[in-house]
Amino acid sequence: MLTLLILRHAKAGSDRPGLRDIDRPLAPRGREAAPLMGRFIAAHDMEPDLILCSSAKRTRETLDLARAELMTAPEIIFTEDLYLAEPEEIRAVILARAGSHKRVMVIGHNPGVQELALELAGAGRRSDLEAIRTKFPTAGLAVLNFTATRWAEATPKTGILRLFMSPRRLPVA
């Protein structure tokens, strides 16, 4: 079985004059949300073997803050190919880089991550699927399981949406 975790970067700061979009850092709210999602991933035994992360500053900062909460040290690959990528581009990166890893996390941007989750999910809790259709918020996490044994077999509508979580949906401790 394969597992794909799709994490949208945490809340980024607004555009500033002269600052390229790719260089936008996290906003204070994003710096709070990313570790919460990392703790959630660790607490629910979903730590990835491999993390594929967009090269944008906000995705790298999301990764750093979330990874600090993990118990393991996954392999990490930064790639510009995930920056504002469409679903087919994200799938191409997964196919090219995932190899024999069974649990892969992609940290990227909307609308690509939202569209990818909806494209791959063939089944799952109706309320979670509807929540993704409505909005894939910053620091949102979709987790899909595939009965496939190779990433090339993880094709549209073959995934089972295990859960959809965001900082606002987290249970209050």
Q: What is the pLDDT of residue 19?
A: 85
Q: What is the pLDDT of residue 151?
A: 98
Are 34 and 89 in contact by the 8 Å Cβ rule? The answer is no
Q: What 3-state class would DSSP assign to 154?
A: coil
d(CA 165, CA 132): 10
Task: List Cβ neighbours of 74 (8 Å cut-off, separation of 6 or more).
Answer: 47, 48, 49, 50, 51, 67, 105
d(CA 150, CA 170): 31
- φ, ψ for residue 69, nearest 5 deg: -95, -10
* pLDDT by residue, tens only, the chain of 173 residues: 999 999 999 999 987 777 899 999 999 999 999 999 999 999 999 999 999 999 999 999 999 999 999 999 999 999 999 999 999 999 999 999 999 999 999 999 999 999 999 999 999 999 999 999 999 999 999 999 999 999 999 999 999 999 999 999 897 65
d(CA 78, CA 148): 25
Beta bridge pairs of residue 27: none
pTM of the model: 0.96
* DSSP secondary structure letter of residue 149: S
d(CA 111, CA 46): 24
